[in-house]
Amino acid sequence: MSPFLILSLACTEPSTDTASAFIPADPGDTPALRGPGGPSVSFEAQALWENCAFLAGDPEEERYHHNEVMPYRGHLVMPWAPEYGRGGLSLFEMDDPCNPVKVGEGFDPLMRETHSMGFVHLREGDPYAGDYVAVTGNLGVQIWDLSDLDDVHVESYLPLEGVFYPDSYSRVILSVFWQYPFVFAAGADNGIYVVDATDPANPEFVTQYSWDPVLRAAGVFVIGNTLLVHSAENSRVAMLDVSDPANPQPIGGGDFDIVDADEQPREAYHANVAGNWALFARKEGGAGAIVYDWSDPSNPAKVGEVFSEGGNGGYVFYDEGFAFVGESHWAKVYDMRDMSNIKEVGTGNLSGDLDTMTPYGNVAILAVDDDAEDQQASAVMPWTLEPDTAPPQILRVEPQDRSEGLARTTRIGIGFNEMIEPSSVFAGSVVLEDQDGNAVDGWGSVTENVASFSPKAPLRGGTTYTLRVLSGGIEDLNGNAVDQAFTSTFKTAGVR
């Protein structure tokens, strides 16, 4: 068990910690990228919505089952594994996206279909320094080491009790969220598993939370102390208070059904979050998306909906006001900048079960998880003309400004309007200080468009903390940095 977890469970007395001597790094002290970053090519109008390249995993293994992609230190990271297992990770240079260059790859027989990835860069001086990503394994959670592009490999594999193999939906790990050091794993009918991965080579099971009646946990998302989970192929959504990761608690009013325009419960295949918005990909009877505001977890409210005739929803992603929805027969991009008037922008096509379209700068990566053609399970498709030059925008920060009575094990969550470069989130781009001006050392981690900052030791009781997200620090995949600083405060419970 990690030192952080021992402290988090044991700290019930007022803190007597002395003043911290920690000095944050410069906000721009992001580790050097190893790749060229995001797409830097402009497109002509006739190139939009047409596939211009394919991303292939190991051709000898013929694993033509692909899902989402994410940026990491200047490269695109692509998992490839079917739901029944055996697969790997490939890394590509994508500055010229229609001419991708593979730069690293690893294979492992115990990896299975990956619906999400959580990344952490542990900086020089950390006892576990390196580059890591958490994904799903056949019977639990895998953590891969990406520190050496010539040796991409599984660092650890933690089977979890109650997970069955092979299994597609009922008792399998469907997604993970890494709020370092804790991995939250959605275990279908088993509920949520919490894993302490402080040492990526030796992750440890912490606890398991399940629902009665069963909620088939599919997508799991954590912002600060709040966890949202969506049920696979169902309408139910629930939220948990995970301020103490070892003891998740239900949030009153935070267990609800997604409803459509006729106020009827509507099944969704998968979900995602974009700040205050939770997006649900409609399943069967037409595709599209339904959007809820979950800024108040005890009172979620529907804010928008779009319907696509003939589709069957898969996975959904968000980028700078646009939603990207895989709809099985095709994939669609929707303009969600006005939630009262969501509009279809364009359609992507790729042979096979097209469940996934991930935004990646001015291109999108289409991916099929079944029935792909040879070496064509992922395609690069330009969707807008110019490379992304807009800085990432903060949509939500948890704890919310002026919150009080927070646990000393509180972690910080920052929701952005696009995917974030994980290595740009650290104690420097994010600064947490107590009321005496003492800075708090912590770890940064990223899952898709949510950045997390976790203090390395419990906070002081009865103390007001100031959170600052600094200009010039956190970056998107194209190297655009936050250009407007953010500041908020919160107070911990107890006596100082």
Residues 444 and 334 occupy one common structural domain? no
pLDDT over threshold 80, residue 298: yes
Query: What is the domain-level CATH number for residue 450?
Result: 2.60.40.1220
Which of 356, 382, 408 lies at the terminal end of a domain, its last residue?
382
Please tell me the predicted confidence (pLDDT) of residue 20.
52
Query: What is the domain-level CATH number for residue 317?
Result: 2.130.10.10
Contact 457, 4 (CB under 8 A): yes
Please tell me the predicted confidence (pLDDT) of residue 160.
98
Does a structural domain hold residue 256? Answer: no
pLDDT over threshold 60, residue 13: no
- Domain range for 300 is 62-241+274-382
Q: What confidence tens digit (pLDDT) does each residue in 44-89 have?
A: 999 999 999 999 987 666 667 899 999 999 999 999 998 888 899 9
Residues 336 and 418 occupy one common structural domain? no
Residues 410 and 376 occupy one common structural domain? no
Does a structural domain hold residue 38? Answer: no
In 3D space, the residue among 432, 391, 419, 460 whose CA is nearest the CA of residue 318 turns out to be: 419
pLDDT over threshold 70, residue 152: yes
Q: What are the distances in angstroms from CA 401 to CA 108, 371, 462, 487?
A: 44, 48, 16, 8
Please tell me the predicted confidence (pLDDT) of residue 19.
44
Q: What are the distances in angstroms from CA 418 to CA 17, 162, 170, 395?
A: 38, 35, 31, 10
Residues 164 and 292 occupy one common structural domain? yes
Please tell me the predicted confidence (pLDDT) of residue 5.
41
Does a structural domain hold residue 470? Answer: yes
In 3D space, the residue among 78, 74, 203 whose CA is nearest the CA of residue 152 turns out to be: 78
Which of 343, 365, 382 lies at the terminal end of a domain, its last residue?
382
Q: What confidence tens digit (pLDDT) does each residue in 231-248 have?
A: 998 999 999 999 999 999
pLDDT over threshold 80, residue 2: no
Residues 356 and 472 occupy one common structural domain? no
Tell me the mean pLDDT in the region 282-300.
Answer: 95
pTM: 0.95
Please tell me the predicted confidence (pLDDT) of residue 284.
79
